[in-house]
């Protein structure tokens, strides 16, 4: 049901993509998802004001690897000027395929600034930002938003049409209201209404945790692509499973290998970003990476016997060796006693 998705000069051969998620979609996790079939990726939610103010902490979100492409530089902000300057900076980096504007993040600290989902209260502001950014850069420009802020504000069709009329090349829409965050079912029928109204490509987001979910979203909405966020955390195999539903679930050996690879890449990424820091940090890169890896690890081991005990010790696991030793213990508890499969710490 999925065909290559094209907008501007970007082609996504398999339009099942990884959503931008603060604290999760760094270069390490994106590389894992790309290897497991993700058709494209977005950076983490990146502050336009941070870019504008030369924030080293913000710049670390824009680290890109060769595996990332095609990839969008994903920025948020309220000021037209800041969004334009951030978009121009991203284009000058020369490592992004397109620019994506966040108009749907429901996180309170973002909304309080009048950015993210707050823009949906006054959708004409979204139009102003899109028009200004399109005029300022040559890269394709897309928008990520939701079906609305709350029932009291402009509806999904009004917002989507403003995005298209302002010149956006593509739109990704989460099928929940911002006020609901991730609660309740995503409204895929509204995604279908948006798809019917617009001529630009539409990517659907929200509620996709299994290959069956992706198929149902496509059936109900007819969108051009599927965006996966939380469903990919701890389960990057989901992308390949959507591409090939007959593909078996990962065994413990493969899961262990991906956990190790992900963690080692995160240590490498943390080390590279630490080199440019002006201030000393509390933890050395390996320790910082291990602490940052905790929510990923909790999801990788979801449903396994022994997981709870490991999670209780997570704050004390500050080396790669310690984490992998604990992972091996959990996995071993879930392997049939007669199975020849065992897990050894290779570090």
Nearest to 236 by CA among 224, 223, 249: 249
Give every CB contact of residue 53 below 8 A, 6+ residues apart in sequence: none
Tell me, letter by letter, the H, E, C secondary structure of 264-315: HHHHHHHHHHHCCCCCCCCCCHHHHHHHHCHHHHHHHCCCCCCHHHHHHCHH
Is residue 105 part of the annotated active site? The answer reads: yes
In our burial notation (b when 16+ CB lie closer than 10 A, e otherwise), range 59-74 reads: bbbbbbbebbebbbbb
Q: What is the CA radius of gyration of the chain?
A: 20
**CA 208 – CA 22 distance, rounded (Å):** 18
Phi and psi of 110, rounded to 5°?
A: -80, -45
Question: Is the sign of the CA dihedral 183, 74, 61, 25 positive or negative?
Answer: positive
Task: Output the CA torsion 161→163→166→170 (10° steps).
Answer: -110
Q: What is the largest CA-CA distance in the chain?
A: 65
Q: Which of 33, 41, 103, 105 is catalytic?
A: 105
Q: Please answer whether residues 318 and 290 qualify as being in contact, where contact means their C-beta atoms are separated by less than 8 angstroms.
A: yes
Q: Count the Cβ atoms, other than its own, within 10 Å of residue 243.
A: 17
Q: Is the peptide bond before 253 cis (omega within 30 degrees of 0)?
A: no
- The catalytic residues are 105
């Amino acid at each position: 049901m999925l065909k290559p998705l094209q907008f501007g000069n970007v082609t996504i051969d398999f339009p099942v993509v990884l959503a931008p998620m603060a604290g999760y979609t760094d270069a390490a996790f994106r590389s894992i998802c790309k290897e497991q079939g993700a058709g494209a990726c977005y950076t983490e939610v990146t502050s336009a004001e941070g870019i504008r103010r030369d924030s080293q902490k913000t710049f670390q979100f824009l680290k890109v690897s060769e595996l990332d492409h095609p990839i969008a530089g994903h920025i948020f902000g309220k000021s037209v000027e800041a969004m334009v300057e951030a978009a121009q900076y991203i284009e000058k980096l020369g490592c992004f395929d397109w620019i994506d504007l966040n108009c749907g993040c429901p996180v309170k600290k973002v909304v309080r600034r009048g950015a993210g989902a707050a823009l949906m209260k006054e959708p004409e502001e979204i139009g102003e930002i899109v028009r200004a950014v399109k005029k300022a850069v040559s890269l394709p420009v897309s928008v990520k938003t939701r079906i609305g802020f709350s029932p009291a504000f402009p509806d999904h069709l009004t917002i989507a049409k403003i995005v298209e009329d302002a010149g956006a090349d593509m739109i990704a829409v989460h099928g929940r209201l911002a006020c609901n965050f991730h609660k309740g079912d995503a409204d895929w029928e509204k995604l279908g209404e948006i798809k019917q109204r617009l001529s630009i490509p539409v990517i659907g987001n929200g509620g996709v945790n299994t290959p069956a979910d992706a198929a149902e979203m496509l059936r109900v909405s007819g969108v051009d692509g599927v965006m996966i966020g939380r469903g990919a955390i701890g389960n990057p195999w989901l992308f390949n499973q959507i591409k090939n539903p007959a593909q078996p679930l990962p065994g413990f050996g493969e899961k262990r290998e991906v956990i190790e690879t992900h963690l080692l890449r995160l240590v490498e990424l943390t080390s590279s970003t630490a080199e440019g820091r002006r201030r000393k940090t509390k933890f050395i890169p390996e320790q910082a990476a291990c602490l940052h890896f905790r929510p990923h690890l909790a999801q990788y081991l979801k449903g396994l016997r022994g997981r709870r005990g490991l999670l209780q010790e997570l704050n004390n696991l500050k080396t790669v060796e310690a984490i992998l030793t604990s992972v091996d213990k959990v996995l071993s508890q879930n392997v049939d006693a007669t199975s020849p499969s065992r897990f050894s710490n290779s570090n």
